[in-house]
Amino acid sequence: MGEEIDGNNVLAQSLKAQGVEFIFGIIGYPVIELSMALQMADIHYIGMRNEQAACYAAQAIGYLTGNPAGVLCVSGPGVLHTFGGMANAQINCWPVVVIGGSAPQDHEGIGGFQECNQVELARPYCKYSARPPSISLIPLHVEKAVRLAKNGRPGAVYLDFPANILSSKVDSDKIPPQYGPTDIPTIYPDPKKIQDAIEVLTQAKKPLVIVGKGAAYARAENEVNELINLTNLPFLATPMGKGVVSDTSEKCIGPARSLALQKADVILLLGARLNWILHFGRPVRFSPDVKIIQIDISAEELHNSIKSTVAIQSDLKTAVSSMVDGLKQKRFNFSSREEWWKLLQTKCNDNKKIVQAMANDIAPPLNYYAVFKNLYEHIPDDCIIVSEGANTMDIGRSILLNKYPRHRLDAGTFGTMGVGPGFAIAASLYCKHYEPKKRVICVEGDSAFGFSGMEIETMVRYKLPIIVVVVNNSGIYTGMEPEVFKDIQESGEITKVTPPGCLSSCTRYDNMMALFGKTGFFVKTIPELNASIEEALKITDGPTVINVIISPTADRKPQTFSWLTESKL
């Protein structure tokens, strides 16, 4: 006979055995004792202020490390609050393990406290949703959940634990031996398809490479850089594919994105999906005759939206490495596409001049381009940039450049607002444990910041040196001039005449730091912005907020197309 052990400790030890190092959550009945068991199992527990933010933070750790973190939440509403985060992780393809407490089994069906059919409700938002039926089966379900979260296309998993399972005890001899985390199997490409891809690519007159978030997650940056440098191919990056090859590379033709997509005759997709971010791969944003070479870890993604000319299911590292080897043997000269490069470079230069002119306009009230240009010039080259908000995120992508992979976290494929503070907390914890000299810059639109702004307290509590920059235009997309807003407030009909996208004018988000006996920065001019960034970088024992007031009507440069491709059906 062994010693008795309760479900809390079995679960905590199982998570540790599967390599889970970080758990984010909010405690309450019935997971209070579990949170302490997690710490006793040598797992980092980070208490958050909202379950959605906890789930955002956990999935960002999964993306940055390749190993899932956990989310701990209470029964009923606590679990329901994670669903936004679970859906985001599932669609972003980031691994995360959500652990929900639930009502005792003997209270089910008779109106138990926070009774909720959590396993079934979670199922649409994850790869695996289950409730271990006994303490002895907890290790099996934890191993399976972690394995499924990581393997194939990564995503979210959910495990449900009734209060009676967590608190009950069994003899430790009845717990089956725990085996540790298994290696993620490597999927190798079909050699014939690699040769087909090389044949199509070498015949292209206007080739283009698109580097996606999948390439970043696959840690394929060395292979992708070798491919780009060997072939002299122009490339674009999806938002979180930025930095796999440096945005500052002369091969990056991001400023000519629309032209490149329209005119390319062959496109090599590296871990990028033909979803809304890439306009589904369809005309008028793409040539009707474009040939697509698609490499993806998920077979289900191949031929999605349009039929690819060559579709390869494979790990990105192995597939790109195989292509590089094949191209070297072929000894094909990619430097002959002078007309294609001339067209792209001319467009890049024209667009850069437009952006530069807007960035040089530093007269108050400021515009986005001036703010981002000066912010970029004062932040470290290797900082992790977190960004969310409508114009804030979209414009920032083109000016806040990334030189390294997995150094940009934003609203992603699901377009989720509220992710910023959670992502920033995860990134800062990642830096603290793995790359302590790096800083995290969290660039927020004022609307986006409102979703999860109280996570500032979490940053303060754990002394995370995050610089939060709120680009404040007093609204969603656009706001109102202070005098006009004041007149409307005093009109007595504010709910009928205020534009739905307006927020309070020039809100002092910087004053949130006063809650903790600290001082934020209130900025209206470029000299004030530059000085505040320099001062904020000196703060290493906690976060700070730089509140940058910009024109409520500031907008992006004129677009060739609407940002979202509309259905023609």
| DSSP-based three-state secondary structure for 26 | coil
Residue 359, H or E segment: helix 338-359
HEC per residue, 87-105: HHHHHHCCCEEEEEEECCH
- Considering the domain architecture, whether residues 407 and 538 belong to the same structural domain is answered as yes
pTM for the full model? 0.96
Consecutive 10-residue averages of pLDDT for the chain (569 residues): 92 98 98 98 98 98 98 98 98 98 93 94 98 97 97 97 97 90 95 98 96 98 97 96 98 97 98 95 96 97 96 98 95 82 97 96 97 98 96 95 98 95 98 96 98 98 98 94 87 86 96 97 98 98 98 82 62
| Domain annotation covers residue 183 | no
Which range marks the domain in which residue 242 is found? 191-346
The answer as to whether 223 is a domain residue is: yes
- Euclidean distance between CA atoms 326 and 320, whole angstroms: 10
Domain end position, chosen among 301, 322, 346 = 346
Q: Which of 148, 174, 200 is the last residue of a domain?
A: 174
Closest to 381 measured CA to CA, from 539, 543, 540, 243: 243
Q: Which CATH number characterizes residue 426's domain? A: 3.40.50.970
123 and 212, same domain (yes or no): no
CA dist., res. 131 & res. 129, Å (int): 7
Residues 566, 369: Cα–Cα separation, whole Å: 27
**Same domain for 424 and 375:** yes
Residue labelled with tokens 């400023």: 255
| Domain match, 139 and 235 both | no
| Position 563 in a domain | no
288: CATH: 3.40.50.1220
Residues 234 and 321 in one domain: yes
Domain assignment present for 201:
yes
Q: Determine, yes or no, domain membership for 76.
A: yes
Give yes or no: residues 302 and 408 share one domain: no
Give domain status of residue 432, yes or no: yes
16 plus 152 within the same structural domain: yes
pLDDT of residue 569: 47
Instruction: Write the DSSP string, 479-537.
Output: ---HHHHHHHHTTS-HHHHS-TTB--TT--GGGGGGGGT---EEE-SHHHHHHHHHHHT
Backbone dihedral angles phi then psi of residue 522, each to the nearest 5 degrees: -105, 120
Other C-beta atoms closer than 10 Å to the C-beta of 505 total: 21
Instruction: Kindly list the distances between the CA atom of residue 372 and the CA atoms of 122, 213, 239, 305, in Å, as whole numbers in the listed order.
Output: 39, 23, 16, 35
Residue 312 is assigned to a structural domain of this protein: yes
Bond prior to 284 in cis (omega within 30° of 0):
yes
Does residue 569 lie in a domain region? Answer: no
**Residues 425, 382 share a domain:** yes
Number of separate domains in the chain: 3
79 lies in the same domain as 201: no
Asked which of 346, 372, 395 is the last residue of a domain, the reply is 346
Instruction: Calculate ∠ Cα 30-31-35, nearest 5°.
Output: 160
Residues 6+ away with beta carbon under 8 Å from 288? none
- One domain, residues 168 and 196: no
Geometric angle at alpha carbon 65, from 67 and 278, rounded to 5°: 100
Regarding whether 290 and 407 lie in a shared domain, the answer is: no
- 374 shares a domain with 305: no
